[in-house]
């Protein structure tokens, strides 16, 4: 069979590949969220304390952080065609194994495995977007993939309790793992005969320079610092938002579905707006520096009111504040990922994305453990939400300090040939 490049594929075929990548993002988040949504049930059955759960969350982040040290290299090495099914199959097996875990030690092992294997999702997704979409539409593509993660967060509290009612919490892990293995087979069929050639920026930079050490590049550290600060809040809400609603309003099980779905619906809206607005502004000729930083500033300000969710007794308003904060995070994150594609050579996108995500998970490790200790000490969520309210402004300040003016590579904001 003669190989075809992505550019030679029909619009429908390219759309199918992109849709599969979005679906992988949904699976990625659903698999990690099962334990958060079912925490009250699992904790009651196995006798977990808040500190136990915080420790498990920290170990998950540790596995992901270590995984990100290698996943970018693996994604660049395997390429889009093979990195996608390898990553999804690996984390699906790890999710499936949760169904047989009994002790804290066994749960720690499978959580580390899940975190390490799910680390393949971010660099592989970034490379796939760069390969399938033209540079002008990358912001929209990253917005759609981030929205997919939010969609996973919406579906998780709606679907997981229902599956758990039918099959138990162990069966829920097994079902999620099996679905991921089916996805891997579907990708191999859809990608058969395709040679994934990314849209490479027109640049006179020597190839040797493109393969140089990424840790000597201030662009890498600008992304890394911003990810540490911004992702800490995302992981805090991802692991602890169900517990927040349980403590504040006494919700558990199926009753958590609606508030969590609304909150993460805000994240999906933020992803789509952050991507589509930046695409439109860039299309009108606005400078990359102005667009990226301007949208990041608006997104950061959207998170500032989050501590008020603790100080009010209006259930609907508390949900709205969480939805606004999650929308701000995803709009910020969408433009941060797109910024990587703007200013980093394509040959290094996987590694820089993975290292940035590694640093984001370092932030997640810290906040997961701190959250468990803070709550176990009876201090409540206020210290955690106060940190979240200023984290994004600090992240944007870090980017501005290291990159006072973003310099996009030639050819990264126009239409592909």
pLDDT tens by residue, 334-353: 899 888 878 887 677 778 88
* Tens digit of each residue's pLDDT (9 = 90 or more) over 43-79: 888 888 888 888 888 898 788 888 888 887 888 788 8
Residue 261 corresponds to which tokens in the numbers above? 């779905």
Q: Which of helix, strand or coil describes residue 121?
A: helix
| Rounded (5°) CA angle 213-216-220 | 90
| Rounded (5°) CA angle 182-67-346 | 85
According to DSSP, residue 415 is labeled -
Residue 297 corresponds to which tokens in the numbers above? 């500033």
What is the rounded distance in angstroms from the CA atom of residue 414 to the CA atom of residue 417?
9
Dihedral through CA 316, CA 266, CA 232, CA 73, nearest 10? 160
Residue 234 corresponds to which tokens in the numbers above? 């995302």
Alpha helices in 250-314 (DSSP H): 257-283, 288-303, 308-311
Question: What value does the mean pLDDT take over residues 88-93?
Answer: 96
pTM, full prediction: 0.70
How many helices (DSSP H) and strands (DSSP E) are in the chain?
Answer: 14, 2
Q: Which residue has the higher pLDDT, 258 or 46?
A: 46
What is the rounded distance in angstroms from the CA atom of residue 276 to the CA atom of residue 100?
43
CB 99 within 8 A of CB 31: no
> Tokens 């959207």 belong to which residue?
302
What is the rounded distance in angstroms from the CA atom of residue 31 to the CA atom of residue 68?
18
Residue 193 corresponds to which tokens in the numbers above? 């005969």
Q: Per-residue confidence at 195, pLDDT binned at 50, 70, 90?
A: confident
What is the rounded distance in angstroms from the CA atom of residue 68 to the CA atom of residue 354?
5
Question: What value does the mean pLDDT take over residues 320-345?
Answer: 89
Is the per-residue pLDDT at 83 higher than 60?
yes
Q: Which of helix, strand or coil describes residue 314?
A: coil
The number of beta carbons lying within 10 Å of the beta carbon of residue 297 is: 15
* Tens digit of each residue's pLDDT (9 = 90 or more) over 113-172: 999 999 898 888 878 887 777 666 666 777 777 777 667 767 777 788 889 999 999 999
């Amino acid at each position: 069979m003669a190989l075809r490049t992505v550019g030679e594929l029909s619009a429908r075929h390219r759309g199918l590949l992109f849709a599969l990548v979005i679906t992988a993002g949904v699976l990625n988040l659903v698999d990690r969220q099962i334990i958060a949504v079912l925490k009250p049930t699992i904790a009651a059955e196995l006798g977990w304390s808040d500190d136990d759960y915080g420790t498990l969350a920290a170990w998950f982040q540790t596995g992901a952080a270590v995984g990100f040290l290698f996943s970018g290299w693996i994604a660049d090495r395997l390429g889009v065609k093979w990195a996608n099914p390898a990553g999804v199959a690996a984390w699906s097996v790890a999710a499936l194994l949760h169904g047989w875990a009994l002790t804290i030690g066994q749960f720690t092992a499978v959580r580390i495995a899940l975190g390490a294997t799910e680390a393949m999702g971010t660099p592989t997704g970034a490379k796939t977007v760069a390969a399938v979409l033209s540079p002008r539409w990358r912001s929209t593509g990253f917005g759609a993939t981030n929205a997919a993660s939010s969609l996973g967060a919406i579906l998780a509290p709606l679907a997981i309790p229902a599956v758990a009612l039918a099959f138990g919490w162990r069966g829920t892990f097994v079902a999620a793992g099996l679905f991921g293995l089916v996805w891997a087979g579907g990708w191999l069929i859809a990608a058969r005969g395709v040679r994934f050639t990314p849209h490479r920026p027109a640049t006179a930079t020597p190839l040797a320079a493109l393969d140089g050490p990424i840790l000597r590049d201030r662009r890498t550290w600008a992304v890394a610092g911003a990810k540490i600060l911004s992702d800490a809040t995302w992981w805090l809400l991802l692991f602890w938002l169900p517990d927040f609603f349980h403590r504040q309003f006494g919700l558990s099980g199926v009753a958590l579905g609606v508030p969590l779905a609304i909150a993460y619906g805000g994240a999906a809206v933020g992803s789509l707006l952050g991507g589509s607005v930046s695409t439109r502004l860039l299309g009108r000729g606005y400078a990359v520096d102005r667009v990226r930083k301007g949208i990041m500033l608006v997104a950061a300000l959207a998170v500032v009111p989050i501590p008020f969710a603790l100080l009010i007794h209006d259930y609907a308003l508390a949900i709205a504040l969480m939805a606004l904060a999650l929308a701000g995070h995803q709009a910020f994150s969408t433009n941060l990922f797109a910024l990587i594609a703007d200013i980093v050579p394509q040959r290094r996108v996987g590694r820089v994305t993975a290292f940035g995500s590694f640093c984001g998970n370092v932030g997640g490790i810290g906040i997961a453990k701190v959250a468990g200790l803070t709550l176990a000490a009876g201090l409540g969520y206020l210290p955690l939400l106060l940190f979240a309210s200023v984290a994004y402004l600090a992240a944007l300040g870090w980017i501005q300090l290291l990159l006072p003016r973003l310099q996009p590579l030639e050819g990264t904001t126009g239409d592909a040939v």
